[in-house]
Structure 1
Amino acid sequence: MNFEISDNPLDKISSDGLLVFAFQGEGEDSLPQTLSAFKTLDKKLSGLLSKTVKIDEFLGKRGEILRLYSPEKILSPRIFILGLGKKKEFRLDDLRRSIGSFTKSSRKKITSVALILPSEDELSEKTEKISQAVGEGFLLGGYEFSKYRSKEKKSEKKLEAIIISSEKRNKEALKKGFDRAETFAQATVLARDLVNEQAYIATPSYLANLAVDIAKKDPKHIKCRVYDREEAEKMGMNAFLGVARGAETPPKFIVLEYAPDKKNSEKLAIVGKGITFDSGGINVKTGEHMVDMKMDMSGAAVVLSVFSVISDIKPKTSVLGIIAATPNLISGKSIVPGDVVKALNEKTIEILNTDAEGRVTMADSLSFAVREKATKIIDLATLTGAVMVALGDNIAGLFSNNDGLSEEIKKAAEEAGEKVWELPLEKDYKELNKSSVADIANIPNTRYGGAITGALFLQEFIGKIPWSHLDIAGPAFSSKGSDISEKGGTGFGVRTILNLLT
């Protein structure tokens, strides 16, 4: 998809359609509040847009689209009016999602569209932020994972050209916003592709090879280390390797490190859960709960995707990416309930349920981050179903031992339009993770508070380092799709982390 900035007014641009915006009216059935581009075009068309809005009872709800054909004096044959929802409730993500909805609805119909961005005064946002939201809406809304579809089922047309009329807009700010959108969307799309790929393809070795390729593109700033089973065993990663025992597929412990041009004492570790397929192990999942379990490496996908563009965003701090990659499968060698494994930090873990394997692998990943002298740690993991019971499937659970870090994440997530909600690290609940034979058990002795006890388990492996845990079990994978994503992997967390780094 290409973004082109034009000096021509909207009615003098040739495309498959013109796009203008309107806010929803304040009353239940009141007319929408139109924006300046709508009013300018409406005046040139002798009130055609206003009349059509009234006749068709267009309200301007978020994502609502009104289509009409243009008179001959307009070069583009169609006009689209896109609703942004109520102005008093408006957030920049409403623009992103409305554009995404428009893009999805335009598949197979148009290949180009022209528009004027809403102004800074109309949205109370900077032009660069507005153009980034618009760009992300087009790029993310246009995403399809179609590599396994037959040619006959692929879209005949694709929206490829976005022409922006620059009327009274800062061209440099427009370009910066669209460039940033392309970087953020590129990373998000990679994460989606990784999650949507077959587990047979997206193996630990596949992820490790991708990490190596990412490092090769910028050897000055990015280094990659990949540890195989034997090397991980020598290091003492017996928690990770315990989970890996049941699979013939070789496990890989993947480390990426970014170093800025100027040395910095700060080192942020981003740890991603990398279970490439989760059968549940000996505590096997039911069919309905296993069908989407290729998505259990969504955290790892975030880490790899962030590093795929990290040289473009050039963070000023050192960044460490850590992934313990393995499937959780069943064989005669599989870990079983009652087994005890020792993590890298020498804490012992009693395995009471093999389907709580992610936290066991993360124990070694987090311990490694501490060993590598990270000054801050953020982990992303599809850790618990309990967080979905608490927050639904669109909101990630945020846990943190550091208020400053959690506030940074909330701000970055808000800007990305990725919803997070902070939950407590309740100290009294630590008792629930106690084991009678080891330092800690991998599941609590109660069915309640599972998201919290999962986070408390992870906290045992980070020492006193500022740390935040994002339980992305809900929003990492969509069962029905959204305005800016198809059914499947969403790439949740990528844009939040990128915002945090810039």
Structure 2
Amino acid sequence: MQFKLSAAADFAASDNLIIGFIGKEDNAVSELPDALSGPIAQWRTAQLISTKLGDVTPLLQADGAQVLLIGTGDSLSVSENQLKKVSAAIAQAMTKSKASALSVLLNGLHVSGRSAEWTVQKLVEWTLTGAYRYDTTKSEKNAEFATTQFRLITDTDAQDAIELGKALAHGVNVARELGNLPPNVCTPTYLAEQAQQLADRYDNIQTDIIEEAEMEAMGMGAFMAVSKGSDEPGKLIVMHYHGAGSDDQPHVLVGKGLTFDTGGISIKPSAGMDEMKYDMCGAASVFGTMSTLAELQPKINVVAIVAAAENMPSARATRPGDVVTSMSGKTIEILNTDAEGRLVLCDALTYAERFNPASVIDIATLTGAVVVGLGHHPMAVYSNDDNMQAEILEAGKSIWDRAWPMPLWDDYRDELDSPYADLRNIGQGRAGGSITAATYLAEFTKHYTWSHLDIAGAAWTTAKEGATGRPVGLLTQYLLNKVPSAS
């Protein structure tokens, strides 16, 4: 789809869908011809036009173009979440329209406390993500959009904002697609193939795949304790984005890629187990972020590590009570095989040391406890560095992909003590489950600046609604904030 900025709408084109905005107090229809702008006031008085947030009112054709008005509530000054609902209405109108061109009358609409460029960026992003429809494993495919040209009618010079919005949407939709795929399709091998395809598509991406035999040789006993229970071989997928000089330290993203999690021997209840295909959404967000970076080409180096495995209850599976040795040399008593994400991640975090990273962020659907504590809106952020935690929180707020700070105190470390190993893989009770999981990971991050995102509540909400693609936005903004400013 082609995106264009324009100072005025073209009503001469018959194959054009015009979208304006209307609130209780004001409207953004100044570009409409007099034949429509006049009657709108009369129709509003007669209550024929809904100003309810997200409601769509179709108007008569003007010079051959179709016109829709989208309600914005009390006024054209909306909040971030209200803009998201407005964008969803635009996406729905676009998917249903037979017009080849879509023009959005943006002058007058703004988000409180945000720049005009920010409004353009998010409207583009949220319209494209709102138009995403999964059909990969359906026999009947969705029809192609008729709309090929998306025009923003605005006086704001926001071409860079459009490009960022598009790239973010593409990355979010990559993450959503991977998350939504069934687990018999999206296996560790499939993820490795997607990483290779990303490298084939972009010259600044390089991909390396580490197989189980090499992982065993490197001493990744924690990773293999999970992967050995499955007939599907695990993969450590390493993607390099080269955007800066070879001497520049990379920022490292580590994604949990459990393509299906039965819980292993500590098997989960059958109700809702189908949703455990989403246990690789941390990895999916890493793929989405790398796709966005490859499109934007910022001057920064990034290494993405995806720990991809299945957690299955076979005769080879790890038992509760087993003790394994991680790549770091620390021994781990595994008391619950359903606490498997932290096992694959701890070896991946140790592996990250070799890149001399400027910072490391791991992203994981790690605990159900975080959903109890925070619900489905923010992600939990833990860090061994207060400044880094603050930077992540600010990046999430600025891109509207929000997170919430969580404590990483020494008080919780005692709960991981084991009489049979250096530490155990779970705390001593249900209380603070997300915190003790983060505390466990912190044991393997002593040599660099690190943060952990527990995204179990944000990566998906229900199987019907599917994967959200979060936190591609937060990760991308954090990394963009690290790009040196031009001198």
State the 1:158 CA deviation.
Answer: 3.2
User: Partner of 1:492: helix, strand, or coil?
Assistant: coil
Task: Decide which of 288, 292, 296 is 1:309's aligned counterpart.
Answer: 292
Task: Give the whole-Å Cα distance in 2 for the aligned partners of 1:232 and 1:86.
Answer: 58
**Does structure 1 residue 52 correspond to structure 2 residue 53?**
no
Task: Give the whole-Å Cα distance in 1 for the aligned partners of 2:111 and 2:252.
Answer: 39
**Bigger Cα displacement from structure 2, 426-435 vs 240-249:** 426-435
Task: Give the whole-Å Cα distance in 1 for the aligned partners of 2:356 and 2:113.
Answer: 41
Alignment-derived partner of residue 96 in structure 1: 84
Alignment-derived partner of residue 186 in structure 2: 202
Alignment of 1:195-344 (within 5 A): 195-219=179-203, 221-344=204-327
Alignment-derived partner of residue 348 in structure 2: 365
**Bigger Cα displacement from structure 2, 293-302 vs 77-86:** 77-86
Task: Decide which of 151, 161, 167 is 1:177's aligned counterpart.
Answer: 161
User: Partner of 1:77: helix, strand, or coil?
Assistant: strand
RMSD between superposed Cα atoms in Å: 2.5
Task: Decide which of 382, 388, 402 is 1:399's aligned counterpart.
Answer: 382
User: Partner of 1:254: helix, strand, or coil?
Assistant: strand
Q: 1:79 to 1:312 in 2, by over 3 A?
A: closer
The one-letter code matched in structure 2 to 1:217 is: R
**What's the TM-score once normalised by structure 1's chain length?**
0.88
State the 1:378 CA deviation.
Answer: 0.5
Task: Give the whole-Å Cα distance in 2 for the aligned partners of 1:44 and 1:144.
Answer: 37
**Does structure 1 residue 65 correspond to structure 2 residue 52?**
no
- C-alpha distance after superposition, 1:146-185 (max 9, x if no partner): 122232xx55573624542545332xx2x32222222111
The one-letter code matched in structure 2 to 1:214 is: L
Contact 1:280/1:354, CA 8 A, preserved across alignment = yes
The one-letter code matched in structure 1 to 2:21 is: F
Task: Decide which of 114, 133, 136 is 2:125's aligned counterpart.
Answer: 136
Alignment-derived partner of residue 147 in structure 2: 160
Contact 1:269/1:322, CA 8 A, preserved across alignment = yes
Task: Give the whole-Å Cα distance in 1 for the aligned partners of 2:51 and 2:331.
Answer: 58
Contact 2:94/2:147, CA 8 A, preserved across alignment = no
The one-letter code matched in structure 1 to 2:156 is: R
Alignment-derived partner of residue 424 in structure 1: 407
Alignment-derived partner of residue 27 in structure 1: none
Alignment-derived partner of residue 102 in structure 2: 113
Alignment-derived partner of residue 34 in structure 1: 26
Task: Give the whole-Å Cα distance in 2 for the aligned partners of 1:337 and 1:194.
Answer: 31
Q: 1:222 to 1:40 in 2, by over 3 A?
A: closer
Contact 2:70/2:86, CA 8 A, preserved across alignment = no
Task: Give the whole-Å Cα distance in 2 for the aligned partners of 1:8 and 1:387.
Answer: 48
Which runs of 5 or more residues in structure 2 are unaligned? Answer: 481-487
Task: Give the whole-Å Cα distance in 2 for the aligned partners of 1:108 and 1:230.
Answer: 51
Q: 1:67 to 1:120 in 2, by over 3 A?
A: closer
State the 1:60 CA deviation.
Answer: 3.8
Task: Give the whole-Å Cα distance in 2 for the aligned partners of 1:122 and 1:469.
Answer: 30
State the 1:294 CA deviation.
Answer: 0.8
State the 1:334 CA deviation.
Answer: 0.2
The one-letter code matched in structure 1 to 2:172 is: T
The one-letter code matched in structure 2 to 1:344 is: M
Alignment-derived partner of residue 20 in structure 1: 20
The one-letter code matched in structure 1 to 2:41 is: S
Alignment-derived partner of residue 9 in structure 1: 9
Contact 2:371/2:457, CA 8 A, preserved across alignment = yes
Which runs of 5 or more residues in structure 1 are unaligned? Answer: 24-31, 482-486
State the 1:265 CA deviation.
Answer: 3.5
State the 1:93 CA deviation.
Answer: 4.8
Task: Give the whole-Å Cα distance in 2 for the aligned partners of 1:122 and 1:471.
Answer: 29
Alignment-derived partner of residue 474 in structure 1: 457
User: Partner of 2:72: helix, strand, or coil?
Assistant: strand
State the 1:105 CA deviation.
Answer: 5.7
Contact 2:30/2:37, CA 8 A, preserved across alignment = no
**Bigger Cα displacement from structure 2, 469-478 vs 44-53:** 44-53
State the 1:86 CA deviation.
Answer: 6.0
Task: Give the whole-Å Cα distance in 1 for the aligned partners of 2:41 and 2:237.
Answer: 58
Task: Decide which of 454, 465, 477 is 1:499's aligned counterpart.
Answer: 477
Contact 1:424/1:452, CA 8 A, preserved across alignment = yes
Task: Give the whole-Å Cα distance in 2 for the aligned partners of 1:293 and 1:435.
Answer: 29
Task: Give the whole-Å Cα distance in 1 for the aligned partners of 2:224 and 2:281.
Answer: 20
The one-letter code matched in structure 2 to 1:2 is: Q
Identical residues among aligned pairs (%): 32
Task: Decide which of 387, 393, 406 is 2:370's aligned counterpart.
Answer: 387
User: Partner of 2:222: helix, strand, or coil?
Assistant: helix
Task: Give the whole-Å Cα distance in 1 for the aligned partners of 2:373 and 2:75.
Answer: 28
Contact 1:142/1:159, CA 8 A, preserved across alignment = no
Task: Give the whole-Å Cα distance in 1 for the aligned partners of 2:59 and 2:85.
Answer: 24
Alignment-derived partner of residue 483 in structure 2: none
State the 1:12 CA deviation.
Answer: 4.4
Task: Decide which of 394, 409, 434 is 1:451's aligned counterpart.
Answer: 434
State the 1:47 CA deviation.
Answer: 3.2
Q: 1:269 to 1:6 in 2, by over 3 A?
A: same
Task: Give the whole-Å Cα distance in 2 for the aligned partners of 1:106 and 1:117.
Answer: 16
- C-alpha distance after superposition, 1:442-463 (max 9, x if no partner): 1111111111111111111100
